[in-house]
Structure 1
Amino acid sequence: MQYNFDRSVDRRGTLSVKWNREAIKSLCGNPDAEPFWVADMDFPVATEVAQKARNLSEHAIFGYPYANNQRQVFCTWVKERHQVDIQPNQVAISQGVLSSIAILVELLTNEQDGIIVPLPAYQPFVRIVNNLKRKLLSWPLRYDQDTHTFSLDWNRYEELCEQAKILIFCSPQNPSGLVFSEDDLVRLCEIAKRHNIVIICDEIHADLCYKPHVMLLEPAKKVGCEAVVCMAPSKTFNIAGEHYSVTLFNNQELKQRFITRLEQLFITETSLVATTLAVSSYQSGAKWLSELLVYLQKNAELMEKTLQREVPSIVFIKPQASFIGLLDCSAILDLVERDAQAHPELYDSSVSPQGGLLSRFFGQRASLVCNDGTWFGGNEYRQFVRFNYGTQRSNIERALKRIKEAVDFLQATYR
């Protein structure tokens, strides 16, 4: 392999929120816990991209950027990566996927209009709905406790469409790791069209699929459903701190309304560093990404097999994309509750207000910090934590050892 993903990088003291002690404490109560939470990876960017950053630093002037090739660069990437023909006039560049989704919600709905959000969900989707005083229509994924798999509940979707104006969809789905088939997406669009629903689809993890990804824009165009797709280089190339996103439209009138709103808010321009890294990543990051995906899949296999062998009471729901996956801890939940009753000081919610029962357990008993399942949709998901395995394999091995020790402690103490 050309790139060494096993090389560790000390991120402490670099303004990294993932490694920030206060942020970690807010999730699990233990500021010294090792981070496996927020969705950025512990891998340096491709050497070609890093060189662009070094060139900027050495030049040491950070003025206004001008790069009129951005949309074409992205279209070339999508053609090569996903075999989809996107034209530059379908593309709008903006400062982030979340701000783009919020603007689209603002443009397409009024206060108290219904917006469907599949659960479990990346929590900011819910915050967008609430912040803009729209009505949240929760669409829980089906979860099979025996097979530990998620799937779409089509009957519930049909019911919710009767009350909604918009669906905020996520493909691949975060945090379940689902990658949807073309048949799934066609069906999604057909139902939306019947009910005059606009789909806003976050495809920020699309480039990290372990199998072919179908962009929603294509089935939407095929069935005549109104849809907008949001993508970004942030997760793909591990440049999440550089706010840069791409919004794709089939409808030119809607695209112009979107751009006009960006101009009204003076947020049309991305920064010099973000633009430089994004363009460089799309132009020269394909080899790095290819090797990264091999490494991530081996990490996921390690987690799955080690837990099956060493800690069968915890199930890793192996994702079909990206570097984050859910751990189903339902088999130990009652033991964790007993531990919390015996040691309330370790599970004090005032110390870790952003966490939950399981994130506190992993933080206190395993010295690992993960996102608690409740962050993705409330108590219905309290049996889960989301684990970020986008890190060096030695870190995964150490984390798995600590998880085993923590679960062994529970079983020895409370059974």
Structure 2
Amino acid sequence: MHYDFDTVVDRTTSLSVKWNKDVIKSVCGNPDAEPFWVADMDFPVAGEVAHAARDLAQHAIFGYPHAENQRQVFCNWAKMRHQLTLAEQEVVISQGVLNSIAVLVEQLTRTGEGIIVPLPAYQPFLRIVRNLERELLSWPLLYDEESHRFSLDWAKLEALADKAKMLIFCSPHNPSGLVFDHETLTRLCKVAKEHDLTIICDEIHADLNFTDHVCLHTVAKEVGATAITCMAPSKTFNIAGEHYSATLFTDAGMRSGFVHRLSQLFITETSTFATTLAIASYEHGLPWLQQLLGYLQKNASMVEAFLAERVPQLVFIKPGASFIGFVDCSKIMDLVEKDRAAHPELYDEKASPGGGLLSRFFGQRAGLAFNDGTWFGGDAYQNFVRLNYGTPTSNVQRALGKMEEAVNFLVATYES
């Protein structure tokens, strides 16, 4: 079966936060900017998943769900997609990755204890640490300004490890696009074991890996490290609004404690729609995903080639997985600063509290909404924006043209 990823779907009439004008304004200052920011895709779900949702809607009774096969369905998926053999008792079904990470941080660490988070980071990781009054131990990735590639700073990790109780990791990494091989994850797990660190690994983008994904859960068991791995169908099948996840434990005691804490908080059950869509996705979504991965790689290659040829001032850091990637805008920063000085009204921080200098520039001068790099860890990442290319190719082409026009405007106006 051929799946259509080219047809543009109007999402403005839905409850989509991605397309909400007020939220877009808060990101870039321009409510009419076209959204290429938050990490959900503009593609309809697989037909089989849509059919399951329609059947449930037509049934028109949405009572409490009970699906005893959820863990087995996930284990079957893990085997099919990643050749990962899991026992059901290693898996807990829960109400989303962030929900699970927050509960685990609260449960496994105490106020004031150190938690390592690689930077740049998906911002909610930072908020979880701060909200629960733990000490944030920032682990900045190394960045090579010549090759435009991120890498892990092992010396920095060793320096932080003795101060920490936990490491919140992300694999594949958002937003750098790094994909980690078995050797790298083995080294990470050995450091964690040596320093008695518990690793919480967010693998929400794992199914969208463009090559074979190495699951940290497997490596941690090989090394003897303590790890908790969070996976989900949300990014994979574009059902992020239906909160559902699978959490894997190498330690049976931690698993039991997690299940007990979920029960205490009355957050053990996923919703009827989330459960229905997740099961349908895992059971029937692989052919759709396989075609999607090819489509996303073509979009990513197009972005990389277009900017290299037409807008060399911008460099796309092509990711190894998923549908989001950093754009290095270092070469235009001086010109953007000049534009802000000349037109401060376009860069009003109060109008876009969720943005930064670059997201405001692209919002105002290109009519495009991107996540500003500062959202992922502060001013150290102010030279970046994150671009979501999980949308029909025609949308990406239009965005690239607008980026070119905006940069050309800067050059024509402010370069002497």
- TM-score normalised by the shorter chain: which range applies? over 0.9
1:380 aligned residue: 380
Counterparts of 1:217 and 1:400 in 2: how far apart (Å)?
A: 38
Letter in 1 for 2:254: L
Counterparts of 1:8 and 1:63 in 2: how far apart (Å)?
A: 34
| Per-residue Cα deviation, 1:229-272 (whole angstroms, up to 9, x for no partner) | 00000000000000001100111111000000000000000000
Q: For 1:398, what is the secondary structure of its paired residue?
A: helix
2:245 aligned residue: 245
1:181 aligned residue: 181
| Per-residue Cα deviation, 1:360-399 (whole angstroms, up to 9, x for no partner) | 0000000000000000000000000000000000000000
Counterparts of 1:134 and 1:372 in 2: how far apart (Å)?
A: 25
2:151 aligned residue: 151
Letter in 2 for 1:91: V
1:274 aligned residue: 274
Counterparts of 1:21 and 1:372 in 2: how far apart (Å)?
A: 17
Q: For 2:304, what is the secondary structure of its paired residue?
A: helix
Counterparts of 2:162 and 2:337 in 1: how far apart (Å)?
A: 40
The equivalences for 1:27-66 within 5 A come to 27-66=27-66
Distance apart, 1:343 and its partner CA: 0.2
2:362 aligned residue: 362
1:289 aligned residue: 289
Counterparts of 2:106 and 2:63 in 1: how far apart (Å)?
A: 31
Q: For 1:248, what is the secondary structure of its paired residue?
A: strand
The equivalences for 1:59-208 within 5 A come to 59-208=59-208
Counterparts of 1:268 and 1:259 in 2: how far apart (Å)?
A: 8
Q: For 1:80, what is the secondary structure of its paired residue?
A: helix
Aligned length: 415
Counterparts of 2:271 and 2:105 in 1: how far apart (Å)?
A: 24
Letter in 2 for 1:401: G
2:325 aligned residue: 325
Distance apart, 1:225 and its partner CA: 0.5
Distance apart, 1:84 and its partner CA: 1.1
Counterparts of 1:106 and 1:33 in 2: how far apart (Å)?
A: 38
**1:397 matches 2:401:** no
The equivalences for 1:293-312 within 5 A come to 293-312=293-312
TM norm structure 2:
0.99
Letter in 2 for 1:288: W
Counterparts of 2:179 and 2:28 in 1: how far apart (Å)?
A: 30
TM norm structure 1:
1.00
* Ranges in structure 2 where 5+ consecutive residues have no aligned partner: none
Q: Give the root-mean-square deviation of aligned CA atoms.
A: 0.5
Distance apart, 1:99 and its partner CA: 1.0
Counterparts of 1:103 and 1:53 in 2: how far apart (Å)?
A: 29
Percent identity between matched residues is: 66
1:220 aligned residue: 220
Counterparts of 1:234 and 1:187 in 2: how far apart (Å)?
A: 29
Q: For 1:200, what is the secondary structure of its paired residue?
A: strand
Distance apart, 1:119 and its partner CA: 0.1
Letter in 2 for 1:365: R
